[in-house]
């Protein structure tokens, strides 16, 4: 049976998230490429998944009964790489090579990397794939769950809505789709580019159980991700997040969608994260 490796408290997860954000920014700086804003917004979701929720570990990644996670918003791969390395799927030193010539660590997830289930990056692909995975679990009467992470802008892709219909039709209560709802995409606010609201009503009307949470609050995230599903219904978690979360000048700024920090900006960002870490230590003392 696959298990999660850690029983970190909310505070410990929050402290880890600061370290993960720091490592991800350094990774993006070294790589000279990356999706900074979205990576910062989904980091707490990934941290909660891999360090609290998912029944998967480096040792059990080959186990057919493991939980599956497919990152549909594949462009935020730097956050995924950072979390997988921290979790021990591969050495952190591998991250020195991200996006470098002949590196396996491409700018979107691939199965060449330990811990990655499917190659993603073209948007609107994760949910249909996960529907197939969740169906396979049901057919085999296995208890594993299937998670995917979607972006706001991605919801304009029609394939998501094909899968939204299909998952409800097949009553896939082992399928959990998480929306990194930072409300921004590369051009600007999603409501201005192609409005997808009201998301809760839409997904409910498609037959999903919808949970709305603060995507940076580990108590709320952990509960939404771990609570049993409503029988016969797939779960849609609207994780309300802040693009660029954790660094003042990156927050809620579409310009940071895929901007790489300069050395000066990196130092400033790391200093802010150091301060956040100090504050967290103060609170937990």
Site residues for other proteins, window 66-105 (CB under 8 A)? 68
Judged by CB under 8 A, does residue 166 bind other proteins?
A: yes
Instruction: Name residues whose C-beta falls within 8 Å of residue 62's C-beta, 6 or more positions apart in sequence.
Output: none
Beta bridge partners of 18: none
For residue 78, the minimal CB distance to other proteins (Å) is 20
Q: For other proteins, which residue of 58, 88, 121, 207 counts as binding (CB under 8 A)?
A: 121
Q: For other proteins, which residue of 44, 78, 86, 117 counts as binding (CB under 8 A)?
A: 117
Nearer to other proteins, 119 or 252 (CB): 119
Query: Alpha-carbon distance 208 to 194, whole Å?
Result: 22
Nearer to other proteins, 66 or 257 (CB): 66
For residue 136, the minimal CB distance to other proteins (Å) is 4
Nearer to other proteins, 99 or 122 (CB): 122
Q: For other proteins, which residue of 73, 125, 145, 233 counts as binding (CB under 8 A)?
A: 125
Contact 136/113 with Cβ under 8 angstroms?
A: no
Instruction: Name residues whose C-beta falls within 8 Å of residue 221's C-beta, 6 or more positions apart in sequence.
Output: 44, 45, 48, 213, 214, 215, 239
Contact 119/42 with Cβ under 8 angstroms?
A: no
Distances (CA, A) of 230 to 136, 176, 214: 19, 11, 20
Nearer to other proteins, 140 or 201 (CB): 140
Judged by CB under 8 A, does residue 132 bind other proteins?
A: yes
| Neighbouring C-alpha atoms within 13 Å toward the C-beta of 17 | 28
For residue 15, the minimal CB distance to other proteins (Å) is 34
Nearer to other proteins, 83 or 127 (CB): 127
Question: CA triplet 169, 122, 132: central angle to 5 degrees?
Answer: 30
Query: Alpha-carbon distance 35 to 255, whole Å?
Result: 11
Judged by CB under 8 A, does residue 106 bind other proteins?
A: no
Nearer to other proteins, 64 or 143 (CB): 64
Instruction: Name residues whose C-beta falls within 8 Å of residue 79's C-beta, 6 or more positions apart in sequence.
Output: 20, 24, 38, 39, 40, 42, 43, 46
Judged by CB under 8 A, does residue 64 bind other proteins?
A: yes
Q: For other proteins, which residue of 59, 140, 267, 274 counts as binding (CB under 8 A)?
A: 140
Number of C-beta neighbours around residue 201 at 10 A: 10
Q: For other proteins, which residue of 54, 133, 150, 176 counts as binding (CB under 8 A)?
A: 133
Nearer to other proteins, 88 or 121 (CB): 121
Contact set with other proteins (CB under 8 A) = 64, 68, 110-111, 117-122, 124-125, 127-137, 139-140, 158-159, 162-163, 165-166, 169-170
């Amino acid at each position: 049976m696959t298990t999660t490796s850690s029983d970190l408290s909310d505070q410990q997860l929050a402290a880890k998230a600061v370290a993960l954000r720091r490592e991800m920014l350094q990774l993006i700086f070294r790589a000279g490429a990356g999706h900074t804003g979205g990576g910062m917004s989904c980091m707490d979701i990934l941290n909660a998944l891999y360090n609290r929720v998912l029944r998967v570990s480096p040792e059990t990644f080959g186990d057919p009964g493991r939980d599956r996670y497919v990152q549909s918003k594949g462009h935020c791969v730097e956050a995924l790489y950072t979390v997988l390395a921290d979790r021990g799927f591969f050495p952190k030193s591998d991250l020195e090579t991200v996006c470098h010539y002949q590196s396996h660590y491409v700018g979107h997830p691939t199965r060449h990397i330990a811990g990655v289930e499917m190659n993603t990056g073209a948007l609107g692909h994760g949910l249909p794939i996960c529907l197939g995975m969740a169906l396979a679990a049901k057919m085999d009467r296995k208890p594993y769950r299937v998670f995917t992470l979607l972006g706001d802008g991605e919801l304009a892709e029609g394939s998501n809505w094909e899968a939204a219909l299909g998952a409800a039709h097949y009553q896939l209560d082992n399928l959990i789709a998480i929306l990194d709802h930072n409300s921004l995409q590369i051009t600007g606010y999603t409501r201005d580019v192609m409005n997808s609201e009201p998301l809760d009503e839409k997904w409910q009307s498609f037959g999903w159980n919808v949970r709305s949470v603060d995507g940076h609050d580990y108590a709320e995230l952990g509960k939404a991700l771990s609570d049993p599903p409503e029988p016969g219904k797939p779960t849609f978690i609207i994780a309300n997040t802040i693009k660029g979360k954790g660094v003042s000048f990156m927050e809620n700024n579409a310009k940071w969608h895929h901007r790489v920090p300069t050395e000066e900006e990196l130092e400033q960002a790391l200093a802010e994260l150091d301060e956040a870490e100090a504050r967290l230590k103060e609170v937990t003392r």
